[in-house]
A and B are shown apart, each in its own frame.
Chain A
Amino acid sequence: MDTPAKVFSKNPSDSFMDCLSLGKKLEKLNSQSKLKVDSSINIAILSSSSMNGIKEVLIAKCSSSNIFANIHMGEYAQYAQDILDNKSDLYSFNADLVIINIDFNSLAEDYGYRPYAKSAKERRVWVREVSNILENFANEVCSRSSAKVLLHNFEVPIYSPLGIIDQKEEYGFIESIEDVNRNLRNKYKRNNQVFIYDFNGFCSNLGKAKIIDSKMLYFADIKVKTQFIPDLCSDYFKYIQSLAFKTKKCIVLDLDNTLWGGIIGESGIEGIHLGPNPEGRSFLEFQKYLLALYDRGVILAINSKNNESDAMEVIKNHPYMVLREEYFAAIRINWQDKVANLKSLSDEINIGLDSMVFFDDDPVNRDMVEKLLPDVTVVDLPKDFSLYSSTLKNLNYFDTLTISNEDIRRGELYQAEKKRSNLLKNTSGLDDYLRSLNINVYIEIANKNNISRIAQLTQKTNQFNLTTKRYSEENIQDLSESNDFQVFSLRAKDKFGDNGVTGVAIIKINNINNWHIETFLLSCRIIGRNIEEAFLAHIINEAKAKSVESIFGYFVDSKKNLLVKDFYQKNGFTKFDSDYEGDVWRFKTKDGYLYPDYIKCKFL
């Protein structure tokens, strides 16, 4: 049986017609149970205008990341009924994402044609009312469901009956629509359930004059020309990808003709193109855009065939090099093949190949990686290097719905990790090394400051994760307030830096005698320092203090977590049972448990 990604790879295309038929095909395969679905998402689309074709195209888009999208299309222009009726299909559908696309004209009535029939004061009132209507719909969905809501803003018109002097008018027509958008944006800045989709930006990007097909508009009430529906779905996909935890984490870069023009081994540091001149400027800008992604938490790495000393000289000493050594989490500059390098980068950085995006100007390398490492995303870099920056900006792999402090500091954290590895090379035994790190761990009960990070860790952690249970922020919030659960977070610090919140344990309190470790995970960043033992010791001590007799631990095989298959066995648990989900282990609290004395553990 094929996965959605496999079906997609046989028909990759961005044209509306091809996406339409691919979407239909995927739907059919799924309904006949002929599709191997590992990851699926429920999306409801509510619209004031006709959204024909969007369903199929969105299914096709999602399949490119191996996600199967179950889509509920609201009836044409029935969005209000769907939203306001508790018993509507919208709520029984159990959406993960609700897209609300209410068109300006559908609410504007006469205002769209004769805005100046209203006074400036009346126009302000209209703007407030319409903003309230839109906000109200989003809020109603939130009050009835935990789905994320994606609310379209309005397309700001270009046309005004006042023509060129619209800008002069007190509270002009165009200004008033911009104000609706501004209200929406401000309203939801700090809301983590409602996201504003910048539909106006989408229209501007493609061209407001081009996006409408008058025939389609008047015959079928279709607001976006069918040929642009794939673009709209690509935008939706950014949100879906993040919700389905498919966001990419790392960009792996080639050097020659990728980060700079020319070949360092041939031209030398003076001969390559990089800097504020016609040949070098596009590379300089490309590096600046990459640095901005680094700033938001994307990991950078190098994979280049070169003499290491030649290439490092550029990275360290070229006056216009933006991406200096410290911005790379790991570097492979050697004569090995790129595939072997990618595998070893994935090991060193401790992330899966499916989290990596590969940039290389050489189509042969790209093809080899595509064939041999199908999990790696290979960017189809254009021959014309002046298009590198726009190619990078158009990628939608890195979007996330939240950014944590840990994301922003990620580069710094990897830098500290590199220093740790160097120290390891210089100390004799592992124990001595760990002792020299001065590890401090701080354990804390879930609270409003760490809930978002706790949820994020449960969503992203694959390797050191005993059960791979995913929780939303709302789930964690609920558990933290429940008497039947204990949610612990762990923060680790050592002499090279603070790793931030990097561990989570969720305990289910079955009764006064038994605790169940429903989730136990550590971020890959802190694996290998026995911090897990200090964490487990804390749970055992807490249980003991409450006279709990047995602690049950679970291991559920996710194929990615084999690292921790024997975790409970190694830590003095005995096999209790195996059920359909995995192994169950038991620890009796009357047995003692010791953790390494070089870790200082504090419960806050």
Chain B
Amino acid sequence: MTLHANKLEVIISKVLGIDISAVNDDTGSDNTDSWDSFNALVMVTEIENQFDVQLTVDECFSFSCVKDIKKILTKHGALS
């Protein structure tokens, strides 16, 4: 696991208010109550700030779990 991947998990755990050990690729709106539309936007803001990327409008609406976010970040070259 790279350092960056861990950074993402810290963001997710803080925004959702869950333990970092509980964050995995499948963590998403299906299985986490606090993953609501507002927190999803907070994730976008934090990810943009901390990974220094700008997500497109489509991307902001396209993710519903950690795996999706990783795909987006990989596409932006922010995650390898």
User: Smallest Cβ distance from B50 to chain A, in angstroms?
Assistant: 10
CA distance A226 to B47 in the complex (A): 13
Chain A residue, CB-CB nearest to B44: A215
Pick from B14, B49, B55: contact of A21, CB under 8 Å:
B14
Check: A125 CB closer than 8 A to any chain B CB.
no
Q: Is A509 an interface residue (CB 8 A)?
A: no
Which of B17, B38, B49, B57 is the one whose CB lies under 8 Å from A53? B38
In this assembly, does B11 line the interface, its C-beta being within 8 Å of a C-beta of chain A? yes
Indicate the size class of the contact surface on chain B: 10 to 19
Residues of chain A lying within 8 A (CB to CB) of residue B37: 220
Most B CB within 10 A of own CB, among A17, A20, A215: A17
Question: What residues of B have a CB within 8 angstroms of the CB of A213 in the complex?
Answer: 45
**Alpha-carbon distance between A215 and B45 when the two chains are bound, in angstroms:** 9
With beta carbons under 8 angstroms apart, the residue of A18, A20, A216, A227 that contacts B41 is A216
Closest A residue to B50 by beta carbon equals: A17
Please state if B38 and A52 are interface contacts (CB–CB under 8 Å).
yes
Question: Complex: how many Å from CA A53 to CA B42?
Answer: 9
By a CB distance below 8 angstroms, the chain A residues around B55 are 215
> When each residue 1-27 of chain B gets 1 if its CB lies under 8 Å from chain A and 0 otherwise, what string results?
000000000010011010000000000
Residue from A16, A24, A215 in contact with B17 in the complex, judged by beta carbons closer than 8 Å: A24
Contacts of A16 in B (CB 8 A): 42
Considering only CB atoms, which chain A residue lies closest to B16 in the complex? A21
- Interface: A225 (CB within 8 A): yes
CB contacts under 8 Å to B, within A10-26, are 16-18, 20-21, 24
Is B68 close to A, CB under 8 A? no
B38 touches A220 (CB 8 A): yes
Within 8 Å CB of A20, what residues of B? 14-15, 42
* CB atoms of B60 and A215 under 8 A apart: yes
A205-230: CB near B (< 8 Å → 1, else 0) gives 00000000101100110100111000
Interface string of A41-71 (1 = CB under 8 A from B): 0000000000011000000000000000000
Which residues of A have CB within 8 Å of B17? 21, 24
* Nearest A-chain residue to B49, judged by Cβ: A227
Q: Which DSSP category, helix, strand, loop or mixed, fits chain B's interface?
A: helix
Q: Chain A interface mostly helix, strand, loop or mixed?
A: helix
Residues of B within 8 A of A21 (CB): 14, 17
Q: How far is the CA of A74 from the CA of B54 in the complex (A)?
A: 32
Distance of A18 Cα from B49 Cα, bound (Å): 15
Which B residues lie within 8 Å of A227 (CB)? 45, 49
Within the assembled complex, what's the spacing in Å between the Cα atoms of A502 and B15? 50
Q: Which residues of A contact B49 (CB under 8 A)?
A: 227
Do A220 and B14 have beta carbons less than 8 Å apart? no
**Distance to closest chain A CB from B48 (angstroms):** 9
Q: Which residues of A contact B46 (CB under 8 A)?
A: 17
Interface string of A1-42 (1 = CB under 8 A from B): 000000000000000111011001000000000000000000
- Are A220 and B41 closer than 8 Å at their CB atoms? yes
A220 to B38, CA, bound (A): 8
Alpha-carbon distance between A307 and B49 when the two chains are bound, in angstroms: 51
| B45 with A219: CB separation less than 8 A | no
CB atoms of B57 and A215 under 8 A apart:
yes
- B57 to A17, Cβ gap below 8 A? no
In the bound complex, CA of A139 to CA of B40 (Å): 38
Tell me the A412-468 residues at the B interface (CB within 8 Å). none
Q: Which residue of A lies closest to B55 (CB)?
A: A215
A216 to chain B: which residues have CB within 8 Å?
41, 45
Shortest CB-to-CB span from B20 to chain A, Å, is: 12
Encode contact with B along A292-334: 1 for CB under 8 Å, 0 otherwise: 0000000000000000000000000000000000000000000
Provide the residues of chain B in CB contact with A220, threshold 8 Å: 37-38, 41
Contacts of B15 in A (CB 8 A): 17, 20
Q: How far is the CB of B35 from chain A (nearest CB, A)?
A: 14
Q: Is the CB of B42 within 8 A of A226?
A: yes
**A225: chain B residues within 8 A (beta carbon):** 45
Find out whether the CB atom of B57 lies under 8 angstroms from the CB atom of A18.
Answer: no
How near does chain B come to A10, taking the closest CB pair, in angstroms? 15
With known contacts A18-B14, A21-B14, A24-B17, A219–B60 Cβ distance under 8 A: yes
B45-65 contact mask (Cβ, 8 Å, vs A): 1 or 0:
110010000010100100000
Q: A17–B44 Cα gap in the complex (Å)?
A: 12
Residues of A within 8 A of B41 (CB): 215-216, 219-220, 222, 226
Question: B15: nearest residue on chain A (CB-CB)?
Answer: A17
Supply 29 A–B pairs (Cβ within 8 Å), ascending by A: A16-B42, A17-B11, A17-B14, A17-B15, A17-B46, A18-B14, A20-B14, A20-B42, A21-B17, A24-B17, A52-B38, A53-B38, A53-B42, A213-B45, A215-B41, A215-B44, A215-B57, A215-B60, A216-B41, A216-B45, A219-B60, A220-B38, A220-B41, A222-B41, A226-B41, A226-B42, A226-B45, A227-B45, A227-B49
Give B contacts to A, CB under 8 Å: 11, 14-15, 17, 37-38, 41-42, 44-46, 49, 55, 57, 60
Considering the complex of A and B, which 6 residue pairs feature the smallest CB-CB distances, nearest first? A52-B38, A17-B14, A226-B45, A220-B41, A21-B17, A24-B17
Please name 20 further chain A to chain B contacts, defined as beta carbons within 8 Å, in addition to the given A17-B15, A216-B45, A219-B41, sorted by A numbering: A16-B42, A17-B11, A18-B14, A20-B42, A21-B14, A52-B38, A53-B38, A53-B42, A213-B45, A215-B41, A215-B44, A215-B57, A219-B60, A220-B41, A222-B41, A226-B41, A226-B42, A226-B45, A227-B45, A227-B49
